[in-house]
């Protein structure tokens, strides 16, 4: 199979993955709209459910992407394996992580406004952790670009350590939002 044909097939399946993600989200929103229509008092909880779904998708990417970097940093630039990692990293970032982060932020801020949490200590602490998590997301997005240009200079050990950052932030965020220690 020629390289151009391989790229065409790869782009096609990328489009299919994006379409599947958009359809899943549309089904969720349609179902939520229907149930809200039947029970308007439940809007806050429906929006919170959407928030948690978006967070799961975002975190899945935040935990998996640095693992891909660990393996990618170990193979020769330009090799077939390296090219496969590039496609996996780009798709994970663009199809899953970027949309999931955007939805998590938009919906999370609406929850904070609607629940009147903007003055609460736990919310300030959560916001600080979520800003740090978003900064790590930005760092990973930059690494995807550098890997795509065969310009990564970080070792597999570095990426193994970076793998722990989202995990630690996630634990802190979940404790803050559920226990609400500085209410
Ligand atoms: C992106 C910015 C974010 C904002 C502005 C935000 C804000 C909020 C707000 C206001 C609530 C409602 C709290 C309540 O009603 O008790 C909430 C719920 C929740 N958030 Fe976030 N959040 C964000 C990101 C995250 C992240 C990154 C995680 C996890 C890693 C997370 C996990 C949760 C969970 C588990 C709940 C449900 C808590 C419960 O019902 O007891 N959030 N979020």
**What is the number of other CB atoms lying within 10 angstroms of the CB of residue 181?**
10
Take residue 8 and report the two structure tokens written for it.
């065409």
pLDDT digits (tens, 9 = 90+) for 88-145: 999 999 999 999 999 999 999 999 999 999 999 999 999 999 999 999 999 999 999 9
107 lines ligand 1 (CB under 6 A): no
170 lines ligand 1 (CB under 6 A): yes
133 lines ligand 1 (CB under 6 A): yes
- Nearest atom in ligand 1 to the alpha carbon of residue 59 is 30
The domain limits of the chain are 3-179
- pTM comes to 0.87
Cβ-based burial of 57 (10 A; exposed 0-12, middle 13-18, buried ≥19): buried
Q: Residue 152 in 3-state DSSP?
A: coil
Tell me the Cα Rg of the chain: 19
Instruction: Say which residue the tokens 């979940």 belong to.
Output: 174
């Amino acid at each position: 199979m020629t390289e151009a044909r391989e790229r065409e097939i790869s782009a096609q399946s990328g489009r299919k993955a994006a379409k599947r993600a958009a359809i899943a989200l549309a089904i969720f929103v349609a179902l939520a709209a229907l149930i809200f229509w039947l029970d308007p008092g439940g809007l806050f909880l429906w929006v919170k459910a959407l928030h948690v779904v978006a967070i799961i998708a975002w975190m899945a990417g935040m935990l998996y992407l640095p693992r891909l970097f660990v393996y990618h940093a170990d193979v020769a630039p330009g090799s077939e394996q390296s090219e496969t990692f590039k496609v996996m990293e780009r798709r994970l970032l663009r199809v899953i992580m970027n949309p999931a982060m955007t939805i998590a932020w938009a919906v999370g801020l609406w929850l904070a406004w609607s629940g009147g949490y903007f003055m609460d200590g736990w919310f300030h602490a959560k916001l600080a952790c979520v800003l740090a998590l978003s900064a790590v997301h930005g760092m990973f997005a930059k690494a995807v670009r550098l890997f795509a240009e065969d310009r990564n200079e970080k070792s597999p050990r570095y990426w193994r350590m970076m793998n722990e950052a989202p995990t630690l932030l996630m634990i802190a965020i979940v404790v803050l939002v559920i226990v609400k220690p500085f209410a």
